[in-house]
Structure 1
Amino acid sequence: MDNSEELSFETLLKLRDEVGLKTYQQFEAEKYYNKNETEQALNRKRKMKESKTNSDDDEAPVEISSKRPFKKNKPSQKWRIEAPRNINPRFLNREVNKKQNQPKNNKNVEILNDGTKFYKTKKVQRTEELVNKFIELKKNGQLEKHLDKRRKKIAGKERKKMNIEK
């Protein structure tokens, strides 16, 4: 069969059909290369096929670890002194309110230290407190704003009641 070059194309096809494609290709390869080289090539092909079957997992989604990564400590921030104009105005208001309310809180503490207990105010006292409150609001010019807020609050409560009743 060394004279396969002299054979016609039809006879080569018949030979391939009789022997089988793989053996025919091996025969052709042996003709052009050493037997060792063809074995090495076949081994490489086998390894490639094996590696392909093992690499089917590469197409699968990657598993993500449920463990959280360790947080690296940030360097400590140095306290820096800022100008008062940069401080949040709400903070300043809070400080002012604390100073204003401090005497009131001190009175409450003194009353508790004397042994008297807090009690719910009677209706008359409550009305007097409300009258005083409205007088103060009128002096400050905040009465209309306060009444609008009250109206909105009451209207919201009524709307909630209407929705619940339906």
Structure 2
Amino acid sequence: MNKSEDHPNELDDGLSDDFGRLIKEYRLKKGYSLAQLEDLARVSPSYVSRIERGLRSQVSFPKVLRICFTLGIPYELMISKAFGEINQSEVENENPTLEDILYHQDFTIYGKPVDLDAKEILVSTINLIFGCTWDSKTKIHDLYQVSKKIERLKDLI
């Protein structure tokens, strides 16, 4: 059994050398130290440092996503740098999803910056709204579920 079967969130195909350079370039562009990135993305400085230096070929996909979302690295660029080039014409013809826009853009609500945790709640709230049936049997339950998400979002902002 290989490592990816033991740990399904771990990618073991090997990262390209470009991926570590991409992470470091975006981190420095944002002006983040490794410790600051740890606070924002919840990934240890040594883990990020090993990726940046090309010393870590097996990575946790959720951790890599948190790093990239925090640094504002577009998903398509992350994948192409991590695992090789993708057909750019396919990427250019696709419209970004609302989820991609929310995760990759810095923005504020009432003058307060929205962090990754708040973005995750915002995205899940939107998904919940569109996933609800909103019929007479479920409307009160649906409204309650949405109100709980909104309360949590307001607590984070």
TM-score by length of 2: 0.17
* Structure with more strand by fraction: 2
- Higher RCO by CA contacts (8 Å cutoff, separation 6 or greater): 2
TM-score by length of 1: 0.16
Which structure has the larger Rg? 1
